[in-house]
Amino acid sequence: MFHDLPAAMTERMAALCAMHEADKTDGTPRFDRLRQISPDTGKFLALLAAQVPAGDWVEVGASAGYSALWLSLAARLRGATLTTYEISARKQALARETFALTGVTDLVHLKEGDALPLLAGHTNLALVFLDAERAILRQCYDLVIPRLVPGGLLVVDNAISHAHEMGEFLAFVPTDPRVDSLIVPIGSGELVCRKVEGV
Ligand SMILES: C[S@@+](CC[C@H](N)C(=O)[O-])C[C@H]1O[C@@H](n2cnc3c(N)ncnc32)[C@H](O)[C@@H]1O
């Protein structure tokens, strides 16, 4: 997956990383900042995605499409498609541009709007990456877990960097008998939840 990335992909990834670094310090308001995952986290997500059972892939929080590009590498390998949700019009435009420039519009489908009311429309989920606002995290979790196929994965970003804002949620997940879970210290900290068979 990581060998011989097309030039359009490496160039767009580099451009998004540069925008992401710049907007941390240039006064861009938080809502408009890209706040994207690290390159190592992208590789980690792609490695996980390459192993999930059959089913649908969903991302909540596309931003400019950086994490979706990493997931698209696994999607191409697996013959899967990723549906990614983004609520900000500015970022929807950037994500559309990202997916067009890198030639992944057959693999990544951008859904414009609030993911929360639409998650219930998904069934048969094999992979979900939650990377939106902490305020909707538990609601997203409660919608996603019953819709995951056995062995399907839910990955939640910022489980270390923003653990102080996720205390109740992070205390609850290890007690949920429907999933086996672990926080992996990569990037901002990835909470990986695997749906248990037979629940
Ligand atoms: C941390 S950023 C996502 C970064 C992206 N996953 C990446 O690594 O490239 C969070 C994104 O979630 C979006 N967002 C927040 N609430 C949302 C919602 N309810 N539905 C869809 N997108 C939402 C924000 O606009 C923001 O772009």
133-190 pLDDT, tens per residue? 999 999 999 999 999 999 999 999 999 999 999 999 999 999 999 999 999 999 999 9
Q: Answer for the pair 193, 88: CB distance below 8 angstroms, yes or no.
A: no
What band does 114 get if pLDDT is binned at 50, 70 and 90? very high
Burial class (CB in 10 A: 0-12, 13-18, 19+), 139: exposed
Per-residue pLDDT, 132: 96
* Ligand 1 lining (C-beta closer than 6 Å): 35-37, 60-61, 63, 66-67, 85-88, 91, 114-116, 131-133, 136
51-82 pLDDT, tens per residue? 999 999 999 999 999 999 999 999 999 999 99
28 lies in a domain?
Answer: yes
- How far is the centre of ligand 1, averaged over its atoms, from the C-alpha of 62 (Å)? 5
- How far is the centre of ligand 1, averaged over its atoms, from the C-alpha of 27 (Å)? 19
Q: What are the start-end ranges of the H helices in 50-199?
A: 66-78, 89-101, 116-119, 137-144, 167-172
Which atom of ligand 1 is the closest one to the Cα of 66? 9
122 lies in a domain?
Answer: yes
Q: The domain containing residue 147 runs over which residues?
A: 7-195
Q: Answer for the pair 181, 173: CB distance below 8 angstroms, yes or no.
A: yes
102 lies in a domain?
Answer: yes
Q: How far is CA 106 from the centre of its chain?
A: 18
Which atom of ligand 1 is the closest one to the Cα of 42? 8
81 lies in a domain?
Answer: yes
Portion of the chain with pLDDT greater than 70, in percent: 100
Q: Give the domain CATH number at 70.
A: 3.40.50.150
Structural domains in the chain (count):
1
45 lies in a domain?
Answer: yes
Find, among 110, 140, 102, 134, the residue nearest to 12 by Cα. Answer: 102
* pTM given for the model: 0.97
- How far is the centre of ligand 1, averaged over its atoms, from the C-alpha of 55 (Å)? 22
Paired tokens of 160: 């270390």
Per-residue pLDDT, 95: 98
Which atom of ligand 1 is the closest one to the Cα of 115? 20
12 lies in a domain?
Answer: yes
Per-residue pLDDT, 191: 98
- How far is the centre of ligand 1, averaged over its atoms, from the C-alpha of 99 (Å)? 16
2 lies in a domain?
Answer: no
1 lies in a domain?
Answer: no
d(C-alpha 179, C-alpha 48), whole Å: 16
